[in-house]
Amino acid sequence: MMNISDIRKSISEGRTSLGIEFGSTRIKAVLIGEDHSPIASGEHAWENRFEDGIWTYSLEDVHNGLQSCYRALSEDVSQKYGMTITRIGSIGVSAMMHGYLVFDEHDDLLVPFRTWRNTMTEQAASELTRLFGFNIPQRWSIAHLYQAILNGEDHVGKISFLTTLAGYVHWKLTGRKVVGIGDASGIIPVDSGTNQYNTEMIEKFDDLISHKGYPWKLRDILPEVLMAGENAGELTAEGARLLDPSGSLQAGVPLCPPEGDAGTGMTATNSIAERTGNISAGTSIFSMVVLEKELSDVYTEIDMVTTPAGKPVAMVHANTCTSDIDAWVRLILQAIESAGLSIGKSRLYEALYGSALEADSDCGNLLSYNYLAGEPVTGLDEGRPLFVRMPDSRFTLSNFMRTLLNSAICTLRIGMDILIEKEHVRLDKLLGHGGFFKTRLVGQRIMAAALNTPITVMETAGEGGAWGMALLAAYMLRKEDAESLEDYLDEKVFKDSSGTTEFPRQQDVDDFNRYLSRYIKGLEIQKAAVKYMN
């Protein structure tokens, strides 16, 4: 670890790297020193809005959140080191993948940002999957574009640029319309041989819509694809003012390619090599498994994306993980506070998560669905959070919490079964990060049971994707000639890192499998709720 004197020198001489990640519920910035350890951080809480049937964030929210997050980081530096940030060695921006941000020739937003959370493109996703012979999930940018075409939306003919949230913020900071290959692979499939968009699929798409007579071809409106380690532009004077309205931060900082949260999660857990994988469990939950070879078939439950270095990755994604748990915890906290009592939120989470380990083996015959949004893996276009029990169910705190935690994982497990049982994918390690693992060992143990695989959580896991993005920025700045991202992470970042590994316990595995069977049967209840609760 660097001492205070070394940290102050790194800050003053601009030998730091900054990662900023736009997550679902918070924007976080992490500043790292030359040893890759975090030296300061800042964050800003935000929430998506459901407006006119669309999950969205406004661009004003994006800009204000970026500034608030950076301001919090600057204040952290000031408090810890008595300094003002004027120079940074390198910067990287990441964000939630997929979604739909389109602009006209005047750089004006044509329609409100349609985020990954929307499940409104079923027809487009289905038709494109058949056309490409490649699974196109509903949240992918190309599905949103084609659905807008199918809907006959007027704005489509005016599109000059289509990008992701990370690509948008990077564009505003540098003036360059680029994305990293991992983020690009959630717009339209990429070719891991060329590390560019799949040319054949782009041609098929252009042919498909040629009768519409739009003034653009698909490739013309997409951002340029860059690889990890490439220079993706410099912070402009306008970008510096956007990031730091105080005027302290100097322009000219090099930026690495902007990436999606999947790629930063892989980087933050050092799981970008073949036969490695990671699970990000927070507002949403997804697993990323780096493959030795392509899958033998097309599965609508499995997304194919890439690492920031372009290797093929199988991704199982569920739209909701901890949001329903968080809602119940807020309710319990309100009950405690209404009685005139006080307890810290972290302490409450620890107590509630810990109680789950005392649950009955059948969770008291309770059942929960955490679906705030639709879940394509289980064939649901909309979600209705539900908690169900029988008259004779054992409704205890322990059973209640274990039910909530189990349910947060069930949809992921259904998708992972395809990889393990049908495709015989092999994993040497699976690393966990995100809020689900924040309470020591509890989420880890339940995840190990759900997937019947050892789960490792590293000491740095709490830093999350913003730290992973900072590492990608540092890689661009400090890599040696021809040094791969894998080697850089292995030898310069994670060589001496440590973590805890929780191995599956047979009783836990059997208990989870029984719960999953009940969960799958009960999906008919969820479907009925979607049908009748409007």
* pLDDT per position as a tens digit, 165-201: 999 999 999 999 999 999 999 999 999 889 999 999 9
Q: Cβ–Cβ contacts within 10 Å for residue 123, how many?
A: 14
* Burial annotation 17-28 (CB, 10 A radius, 16+ → b, else e): bbbbbbbbebbb
Instruction: Tokens for 89, please give them.
Output: 């060695």
Nearest Cα to Cα of residue 103 among 54, 155, 44: 155
Q: What is the pLDDT of residue 496?
A: 81
Structure letter (DSSP) for residue 91 = E
How far does the chain reach from its first CA to its final CA, in angstroms?
55
Strands 178-180, 303-306: parallel, antiparallel or unpaired by DSSP? unpaired
Give the integer Cα–Cα distance in Å for 526 and 531: 9
Strands 190-191, 196-197: parallel, antiparallel or unpaired by DSSP? antiparallel
- Enumerate residues 6+ apart whose C-beta is below 8 A from 165: 22, 57, 62, 95, 96, 99, 101, 113, 115
* Burial annotation 502-527 (CB, 10 A radius, 16+ → b, else e): bebeeebeebbeebbebbeeebeebe
Instruction: Count CA atoms within 13 Å of residue 312 on its CB side.
Output: 16
Q: What is the pLDDT of residue 462?
A: 58
Using 50 as the pLDDT threshold, list the residues of the chain that sit under it. Answer: none
Q: What is the pLDDT of residue 338?
A: 96
Q: What is the pLDDT of residue 85?
A: 97
Instruction: Tokens for 29, please give them.
Output: 């910035």
Give the integer Cα–Cα distance in Å for 102 and 161: 6
Helix, strand and coil percent figures for the chain, each rounded to 5 = 45, 20, 35
Is residue 159 classed exposed, middle or buried when 0-12, 13-18 and 19+ CB atoms within 10 A define those classes?
buried
Instruction: Tokens for 200, please give them.
Output: 């054949």
- Enumerate residues 6+ apart whose C-beta is below 8 A from 83: 8, 11, 12, 77
Q: What is the pLDDT of residue 463?
A: 65
Q: What is the pLDDT of residue 474?
A: 98
Instruction: Tokens for 187, please give them.
Output: 């717009």
47-76+87-260 topology per CATH: Nucleotidyltransferase; domain 5 (3.30.420)
Contact 144, 162 (CB under 8 A): no
Q: What is the pLDDT of residue 197?
A: 97
